[in-house]
Structures are given as structure tokens and as C-alpha cells.
Amino acid sequence: MTATTPRHRSLKISSIALGFALALSAPASAADLVISNWDGYMAPDAMAAFKTATGVSGEVVVHATNEEIMGKLVASGGKGYDVVFVSSPFAEVLNKLGLTEPIDHAKVANLANLYPEATKLPHDVGNAFSVPYTWGTTGLCYRSDLVKVAPTSWSDLLAPSDDLKGKTTMLATDRWLLAAGQLDKGYSVNETDPAKMAEVKDLLISAKKTLLAYDDTTFYSKLVSGEALLVQAWDGWCNYGIAEKPEIKYVIPKEGSDLWVDTMVVMKASANKDAAFQFINFMLDAKNHAWAAQNIDYKVPNKPAMESLPADFLAKFPNMAMPVADLVKFEQLRDVGDAQRDYSKIVSEIKAAQ
């Protein structure tokens, strides 16, 4: 299997606190469509295949993080972009800011390929302004051959046994770092109550003393080398480690996970909306969407695409075979508005703690 380069799934913008927006110009392009996406998040020949199928030319521009593209979209009012890939809380923000075009379902026939559950996601019931592209969980990724006891709880990471101290990592991005503590405490992954968040902060400050590092990008490599034995991980990124070392395993702790969703949105400022809907329809084609599942190792919310995955692929990456009904039981990360500033402050205090 050829794996794409993992991307940094950063998530820490709010619908109100957008003051960091950078005054960056929109891309200049002679193409019919401009698509902004993470690097390696669709097939390298996708735009050429799209042009062959539709006659519409497209250019892909790459963003490294949600924050980066949000800064550009807010600064430009969305001008210069047609379709943008963003995580669902950011899609919520863009919609609240009036920057998204309603999805014209009549022009996206392949929406029929989505699992029914993917049309009822809390951030956008009915896919009014966003179309889910990938979805998944966050859990524990570990070396089954080197840990004494297989982890089952977030507390195995946050209050590790002596043999694991100094050999664990946590995600550095605000929402996922906090989610580990929120879930361990039995709280919502969108919790905003100050007293409860103070408890989460204290727990994560205590956990920090046992960590090897905060790490969003190389934690799976640390597992492969044995430098780390237990890490907080997105399911697909744990698969990158499993691909290199089968002794690496993934488990969702008994307290649960968040449900993360990456989406496609059409910009209201787009001058090529019909072509933008054609592109989304093309990406929802079962064969095209299956490419994403097999090459970025993330679950996709496309029923025929997932049903087409080879049995040996699912056996190699068991989390890819997770039933959709089980996946959507977890709480979806949502835009928390003004509370995002409190989240960022708490995370800064955690990381600064001695």
C-alpha cells in the first residue's frame, strides 16, 4: 500500500475570535476551479481525471492547517476559492460568517452514496452547507509487544504505570489535548463549564509530567522506533504506524472518543458554483472516495466506497472496519464560539506548567 504524507489536523479557531486572520491574497488561477485541500488528501491525478470526466479544469492549492486556510478565507471573504476542505467545526464557522454556499443536492447526485448517518451529523443535519469527506475517532495507539498491559482507558495515558512514564505522547492541538481529559472525567468534548474545565486542566498538568512529548506529527514514528510505547492518536495516523510495524495496535478507551469529520464546502464567493458541485459529486463517486480510504487510511462516509475495500486491507487495519453505527455514537467536535479563547488559555497554561 502506498501511504500519503500525513497532514496536520489543527483545530483551534472560533466563530468570534478570528482576529488572527492574515491579510493574504487569494490565489490567482487560470483554472475553472480552485480547490484548497491538505497535501495528499486526494489522488494525485484527481484533477486530471475530473477534467477528462467533465471538461472542467481545476487547480489544487495546499493548506497545512485549518487555521491557515481560515485566515485566508476570512481575509478574502472567500474570494479566489471554489471548494475548500476543512474540519467540521470550521465549516460551522464559515457558515456562521456567511461564507458558504448552500449545497445544491440536485447537482450532487452522489450524495446518495453517503451513509444515512453521514446526512444527520449534528454540525449540519441534512448536509445543508457541507459534505463529509472523511470521519473517524481519536484513541490510544500502542506497542502491543512492549507494553505490559494493553491500555483500555484514558487514565492509562494520563496516569501511566511506571514502565510507561516518559514513553507516552499526547496530541498538541487544543481540542484533542483537552478531549482526552474531558473524556477521562466523563465530560463532553465540547464542555465549556469553567469549573469542569479547571478539573480537566489540573488533570492534564499532572499528566504532562509523565509525557515524552506533545506530538501531532511524528508520534507514530516514535512508536515504530520504540521511543514511545503509548500515544494519543487519530485512528488513521495510528494506521501509518501499523503499516510499518504490525505490533502497533489501536484501541478506543472505554470512556469513548470524539467523532471528527473533515468536510468539503463551496464558497459563496465562487464564480463557478455549478462546477464546484460537479467536483464534489466527482469526489463522492465510489471509486474516487475509495481511493481516499485506501491511501490515507481514514474511514470515508461513503457506503459503496467502504464496501469495496479489500478484505486484506481491512484485516491489516481493523479500525477501518468499525461499524458506522458505533462510530456515530461518539460526540462530534463542534464550534464552541467564545469558549475557544478559554480553551486556548487553558492549553497555554498546561504547556507552560512546570
C-alpha cell at 211: 509525557
Task: List the one residue out of 80, 74, 97, 92 whose CA is nearest residue 128.
Answer: 92
**Whether residue 265 has pLDDT greater than 50:** yes
Distant-in-sequence, close-in-space partners of 216: CB < 8 Å, separation ≥ 6: 8, 9, 10, 171, 172, 173
Stretch(es) of the chain classified as CATH 3.40.190.10: 33-135+260-321, 136-258+335-352
The better pLDDT of the pair 45, 17 is held by: 45
**Predicted confidence band at 20 (pLDDT cuts at 50, 70, 90)?**
very low
Going by C-alpha positions, the residue among 343, 305, 345 that lies closest to residue 324 is: 305
The grid cell for 116 is 444515512
Which of residues 300 and 30 earns the better pLDDT score?
Answer: 300
Tens of pLDDT, residue by residue over 232-258, are 999 999 999 999 999 999 999 999 999
Q: What is the pLDDT of residues 217-238, one digit of tens each?
A: 999 999 999 999 999 999 999 9
pLDDT at 22 over 50: no
Q: How far apart are CA 350 and CA 354, in angstroms?
A: 9
So what's the pLDDT on residue 19? 37
The pLDDT score that the predictor gives to residue 322 is: 97
**What is the H or E stretch that residue 258 is in?**
strand 258-266
**Whether the predicted pLDDT of 9 surpasses 60:** no
Give CA–CA dist 144/138, Å, rounded: 18
Please state, in angstroms and rounded to a whole number, the distance separating the CA atoms of residues 13 and 87.
11
Spacing of C-alpha 205 from chain mean position? 25
Instruction: Give the cell for residue 341.
Output: 479563547
* Nearest by Cα to 350 from 198, 185, 192, 184: 198
pLDDT > 90 in the chain, percent: 90
For residues 325-348, average pLDDT:
96
pLDDT at 7 over 60: no
Type of residue found at 189: V
Q: How far out from the chain centre does Cα 62 lie?
A: 16
46-54 helix and 273-283 helix, angle to the nearest 10 degrees: 120
Query: Count H helices, E strands: the chain?
Result: 14, 10
pLDDT digits (tens, 9 = 90+) for 120-137: 999 999 999 999 999 999
* 226 close to 283: Cβ distance less than 8 angstroms: no
User: SS3 letters for 209-247?
Assistant: CCCCEECCCCHHHHHHHCCCCEEEEEHHHHHHHHHHCCC
Which residue from 212, 235, 210, 236 is spatially nearest to 222, judged by alpha carbons? Answer: 212
Span 325-342, average pLDDT: 96
Nearest alpha-carbon partner for 347 in 216, 201, 147: 201
What's the pLDDT at 27? 54
**Res 14: pLDDT:** 38
Mean pLDDT on 78-88: 97
DSSP conformational letter for 169: E
Residue with cell 472525567: 185
- pLDDT at position 354: 87
pLDDT of residue 10: 45
- pLDDT tens string 97-126: 999 999 999 999 999 999 999 999 999 999
Pairing of strands 33-37, 58-62: parallel
Instruction: Tell me which CATH homologous superfamily contains domain 136-258+335-352.
Output: Periplasmic binding protein-like II (3.40.190.10)
Specify the CATH superfamily of domain 33-135+260-321. Answer: Periplasmic binding protein-like II (3.40.190.10)
Query: Mean of the pLDDT values across residues 76-91?
Result: 97
When computed from its CA atoms, the radius of gyration of the chain, rounded to whole angstroms, is 20
Taking alpha carbons only, the member of 18, 36, 346 closest to residue 178 is: 346
Q: What is the pLDDT of residues 24-82, one digit of tens each?
A: 344 545 689 999 999 999 999 999 999 999 999 999 999 998 989 999 999 999 999 99
Give Cα 6 distance to the centre of its chain. 11
pLDDT recorded at residue 30: 65
Dump pLDDT digits (tens) for 170-199.
999 999 999 999 999 999 999 999 999 999
pLDDT at 31: 81
